[in-house]
Chain A
Amino acid sequence: EPEVTQTPSHQVTQMGQEVILRCVPISNHLYFYWYRQILGQKVEFLVSFYNNEISEKSEIFDDQFSVERPDGSNFTLKIRSTKLEDSAMYFCASSGTGTGGFSGGSSYEQYFGPGTRLTVT
Chain B
Amino acid sequence: RKEVEQDPGPFNVPEGATVAFNCTYSNSASQSFFWYRQDCRKEPKLLMSVYSSGNEDGRFTAQLNRASQYISLLIRDSKLSDSATYLCVVRGSTGGGNKLTFGTGTQLKVEL
Q: Is B87 an interface residue (CB 8 A)?
A: yes
Interface size class of B (residues with CB under 8 A): 20 to 34
Query: Across the interface, which residues of A come within 8 angstroms of B44, CB to CB?
Result: 43, 91, 112
Q: Is B1 an interface residue (CB 8 A)?
A: no
- Per-residue interface assignment for chain B, residues 65 to 100, with 1 indicating a CB less than 8 Å from any chain A CB and 0 otherwise: 000000000000000000000010001001111111
Q: Are B101 and A107 in contact (CB under 8 A)?
A: no
Q: Are A108 and B95 in contact (CB under 8 A)?
A: yes
Q: Are B99 and A30 in contact (CB under 8 A)?
A: no
Q: Is B61 an interface residue (CB 8 A)?
A: no
Expressed in whole angstroms, the Cα–Cα distance for A55 and B92 within the complex equals 14
Q: Is A106 an interface residue (CB 8 A)?
A: yes
Instruction: Name which residue of chain B comes closest to A92, CB basis.
Output: B43
Query: Across the interface, which residues of A come within 8 angstroms of B104, CB to CB?
Result: 41-42
CB distance from B98 to the nearest CB of A (A): 7
Q: Are A48 and B99 in contact (CB under 8 A)?
A: yes
Q: Are B49 and A105 in contact (CB under 8 A)?
A: yes
Query: Across the interface, which residues of B come within 8 angstroms of A33, CB to CB?
Result: 99-100
Query: Across the interface, which residues of B come within 8 angstroms of A50, CB to CB?
Result: 96-97
Query: Across the interface, which residues of B come within 8 angstroms of A108, CB to CB?
Result: 32, 91, 94-96
- Known contacts: A42-B102, A42-B105, A43-B87. The answer to whether A107 contacts B43 by CB under 8 A is no
Interface residues of B (CB under 8 A from A): 32, 34, 38, 41-46, 49, 87, 91, 94-105
Other A-B pairs beyond A48-B99, A107-B96, A108-B94, 7, CB < 8 Å: A30-B96, A43-B100, A48-B97, A50-B97, A91-B44, A110-B100, A112-B44
